[in-house]
Amino acid sequence: MATERTLQSDLPVPPGRLIAETLAAKGVSQAELARRMQRPAPAINEIVHGRKEITAETAIQLERSLGVPAHVWLGLEAEYRHTKARQDEDKRLARQAPLLRRFPYAAMARLGWVPRGRTGAEKVSHLLNFFAVSSLDGVAHVEAVAYRLSKTHRADPEALAAWLRKGEIEALKIDTRPFESTQVRALLAELRTMTALPSRQLLPRLTTALARCGVAFVLLPHLPKTHAHGATKWLTPEKALVIATTRGRWADMFWFSVFHEVGHLLLHGRRATFVEWERGKRNGQEAAADQFAAEHLIPRAHYDNFRTLAPTSARIRAFARELGIAPGIVVGRLQHDGAIPDSAFNSLRDQLRPAA
């Protein structure tokens, strides 16, 4: 029977087609149907040709006039409108496909951030879902900070926007207490001791400890063309996001970035987003965050005294034990300051190896 046909279709089939088939089977004209329903004949014709929607009231009238249940008419109408809207959406997505070249889609798919997608329209759809926008042009508004920051750096704004967005997505999965700057300051000593922990232990502990203070910590893989080491962003007035990356990084570089980003949270306002770049000039706020990280990892007074001695493995280890930090933190500081060559004492430095 016509009423038992499958309602799902790739093509939008107006329910008016079933009306026409039912009228033909019963030998009833459209004019007669209009009379029975007390509706104008042109209105019935528009319904038959899909130009006029079947409302709940119309569906009940059709049930009484043709003997087909009202829910069938409403289901057919809903499916027709949905399929038609999907077709229109597919066309709109296809029109946005040329914008895909701006985004590092292949890299995002390799990292599992988005499905691989077969067609341009599918990839556009996946990106829209990822960024939670209705148009790829809308990324400029949602992640406007990426566009603003990229103007003074070599980063691709779309790549940076994707990296920041992924950090936000992961941060939303982390339950945090309301942000308290006093608790973050109190945590700094504990963070220093974590520098000596193996990677598999420190990352869970670091995430849990920061969450207690209102900070969602997210470790992300490197995304090409972002040129970013870390970032700080406020998700709400009571929840901050800190992003770090492990791109072939020494553990001491990772920890400097962590303290650098925490410095932004404590020193600067809650409106700005900060990105720590691989290289480039430091503005006042970045320099302040650098100084904060350096001082809290190795206080200047202790460091200056240590610098009076010729560095040896034994002295570096002893100094690190005195401060309660990993020896690699000391080596990294000495290398950064040019006190020793970049190749010196690297056996005391650890590589960060997150759990798979």
Confidence band, pLDDT 50/70/90 cuts, at residue 3: very low
Cβ atoms of 19 and 26 within 8 Å: the answer is: no
Tokens standing for residue 76 = 């057919």
Confidence band, pLDDT 50/70/90 cuts, at residue 2: very low
Which of 9-13, 14-18, 84-88, 291-295 has the highest mean predicted lDDT (pLDDT)?
291-295
List, in order, residues 6 or more apart from 151 with CB less than 8 Å away: none
Task: Name the residue among 245, 285, 255 with its Cα closest to residue 269.
Answer: 285
Task: Name the residue among 123, 133, 129, 117 with its Cα closest to residue 97.
Answer: 123
pTM of the model as a whole: 0.80
Higher pLDDT, 350 or 355: 350
- pLDDT tens digits for 279-294? 655 678 889 999 999 9
Half-sphere exposure of 81 (CA within 13 A, CB side): 11
Q: What pLDDT shows up at residue 1?
A: 41
- pLDDT tens digits for 144-177? 676 666 665 677 889 989 999 999 999 999 999 9
Q: At which residue do the structure tokens 């556009």 appear?
A: 124
Q: What percent of the chain has pLDDT over 70?
A: 91
Check whether 247 has a pLDDT greater than 60. Answer: yes
Q: How is domain 2-96 classified at the CATH fold level?
A: 434 Repressor (Amino-terminal Domain) (1.10.260)
For the chain, the first-to-last Cα distance in angstroms comes to 56
Average pLDDT of the segment spanning 28-45 = 94
Q: What pLDDT shows up at residue 352?
A: 78
Q: Residue 53 and residue 48: Cα distance in Å, rounded?
A: 10
Check whether 354 has a pLDDT greater than 90. Answer: no
Q: Residue 93 and residue 123: Cα distance in Å, rounded?
A: 9
Q: What pLDDT shows up at residue 137?
A: 85
Higher pLDDT, 211 or 286: 211
Q: What pLDDT shows up at residue 8?
A: 46
Q: What pLDDT shows up at residue 313?
A: 96
Q: What percent of the chain has pLDDT over 90?
A: 71
Tokens standing for residue 119 = 């067609």
Q: What pLDDT shows up at residue 6?
A: 41
- pLDDT tens digits for 78-104? 999 999 888 888 899 999 999 999 999
Q: What pLDDT shows up at residue 149?
A: 66
Domain ranges of the chain: 2-96, 103-142, 157-296
Sign of the torsion angle spanned by Cα atoms 287, 292, 295, 297: negative
Q: Mean pLDDT in the chain?
A: 89
